[in-house]
Structure 1
Amino acid sequence: MPRIIQAIRGMNDILPDQIDLWEFFEQTVRDWMAGYGYRNIRMPILEQTDLFVRSIGAVTDIVEKEMYSFLDNLNGDSLTLRPEGTASCVRAVLEHNLLYTGPQRLYYSGPMFRHERPQKGRYRQFHQVGAEALGYAGPDIDAELIAMCAELWRKLGISDVRLEIGTLGSTESRALHRARLIRYLERHLGKLDEDARRRLHSNPLRILDSKNSEMREIIDGAPQLLDDLDEDSLAHFEELQRILRNQGLDFEINPRLVRGLDYYNRTVFEWITGKLGAQGTICAGGRYDGLVEQIGGKAASACGFAMGVERVLALMIECGNDIPRAVPDAYVIHQGEAADGLAWKTVRHLRDRGLNAILHCGGGNFKAQMKKADASGARFAVIIGDDEAQAGEISIKPLREAAEQVRVGLAEAAILLKRT
């Protein structure tokens, strides 16, 4: 007997018993996004590898270690399973000239792929919801995106989350800070680990995000980007803080907040929880004003965020949210040739009137079928035997409450099931 083929490690099946939570989250997100005027966009999961190298940055963990890339056998192009959604979204906006009609509020959802060691909250295929606001230059859109997230946490019943904000300044102020940071780190070269030494001259800001506890003292003593901010970036950051305070949103300023993608500038933020262990960031984002031009378009302002769906769902469970299971309204059991015909007619009648009805298949006596009806979670069993078939009626038995079984005509059935 051949062995059972299993899913790739870190790429998980989402089973029917789990799907109610997913569908509740997805419907909540659709309604929430619509409430802020964000329209859905759907991009392919495969893109040209160069899109991510140019946007994310060649000297990043994602590009260096985590992308699933391969050569297209047809034409030799290097293709990559998307590791994140922002670059793909911006590519689609440019390719289809969406910014010609004005600023865009867009959102997407779907699977992303990164080749890394699977662990709780960190998978090779994972899902994200992302929002991108393109063509908006002021800190008001940054603040709105953050406020949107705060509202979503309330809608999902999520607690124990905190907001950290920071700023990466402009390209010029970051270049000034980069030079100062390199000089500082060079004085401590002997205490840097191999990864930090490799990044010292290519991407020194990423060293500040190191999780190596032995470098903690060096990192804590490093120059802060806030001290090198240009006047416009500082004003942008201060206005963002003012709006957040006016909206009653608590936040912490984290001067070491560094995003793992090179395209960010000015505002960066993360929503963090203490309930998920090491994988505590459930949503992160910021401003990326240079990305549109970097990919090949005319310079345009942009800001956005992405949240890890698996992490958000895990946090919902940790917060004790009780998501009601989707159950059918009726399970139709039947026995006998005449009853079979009426059973088919009954389920069509109920479905046409907006009720969810399961038709029993596979035969069996009434006792066995009733067990199936109960196991389905249905609110009612609809029973059709010879007596019902001859009378053109059906019997309705409540399965979840103490109430009498009743026998009614088909026209009354849907009314009764909807009313109770």
Structure 2
Amino acid sequence: MNCFPCFFSSEKKAKRNAAAASPGTNTKEFSPTVAPAPPSPLVGPLRSPDIAPKPANPVGNSSPQPSNTEPNNGNIAAQTFTFRELAVATRNFRPDCLIGEGGFGRVYKGTLEKTGKVVAVKQLDRNGLQGNREFLVEVLMLSLLHHANLVNLVGYCADGDQRLLVYEYMPSGSAEDHLFDLTEDQQPLDWFTRMRIAHGAAQGLEYLHEKANPPVIYRDLKTSNILLDENFNPKLSDFGLAKLGPIGEKTHVSSRVMGTYGYCAPEYARTGHLTVKSDVYSFGVVLLELISGRRAIDTAKPTQEQNLVTWAMPMFRDQKRYPELIDPLIEDDYPSKALNQAVAVAAMCLQDEASVRPMMADVVMALSFLTGPSHDTPSPASSTVPPLPDQMSITEGDSMDWGSSTSGV
């Protein structure tokens, strides 16, 4: 059985071995290919002595969640899989099953043999120096947090040195897939679909910030981490960088700077001080991407246009210039008042001063007017969660690590 100390001991050993093998390697950029290992005996469930029970009937999740009928015995409420089961599900991790790659591993589409359920299987990079930390945080977070706008964790595998996460499959890919570099047969997202994606992502963040106890700072919001179901309903994915927020009289938590360049709040990049307002800034970047169809960072553009926020700032100050921000693929098919509102929300989220950025509940309210009536359906953000364990506040070092990915789960 692998408990928390066992994982951390393995991680430290992996770090020592990696450092000895390649002392000159830059871990910020090093991302070796993951090769499947031979199956090994099943490892027992993860354990945490203070894990609160998973809510049996979470409110506001449009998809019924499996209830935990067992008494709280300290086990993480997620299904365990053997490596062999997941190798069979993904046809031995064949390249044609690969649906995405990220800084911490690869994601494959698979079908569970026992149930026929289609899933997404993320195989963490065995040689990555932060693989176990990411694995633990994601299993813990998604086992305790349940919301219509958070991706559902089906289970995990901790066979030998293999670390895999199994999620519900999101057939429409990520928001990034539908905004940039579209193929000839892809239809661009219309205005209202973009606003529904923004609204749903905002509801997911509101839940993490204001319903979780203590609050959870997502720390890696970007369009590639917003996954879409068959109806383009959004769900936040990839919780490996998530961190518990400040409690009591604390105003922030200190952390080495992690995330994706272009989405990171300026005060967090400068000081390492992390608050829920750091996520609000990232949401402002995502909203601006949805409005404009431009990437947060695009080095193919002229120098003065490469940073999306820097490019947009002069237009924020003049409402007459707001139409210049709109994605040309939308053309004139959008309500001008809705554009004004959406740009105003993005501008508020992107304030340099964190204290004047809005709370996500205010963002949710503002965006709800852009997606049609929402008062007839209870908001998923009204659901509650049990207190989150201190074990998820995992000690981190002082270095900066900018992650990157080409797709979400």
* TM-score grouping bracket, smaller chain normalisation: under 0.3
Q: Which has the higher contact order (CA 8 A, sep 6+)?
A: 2
TM (norm. structure 1) is: 0.24
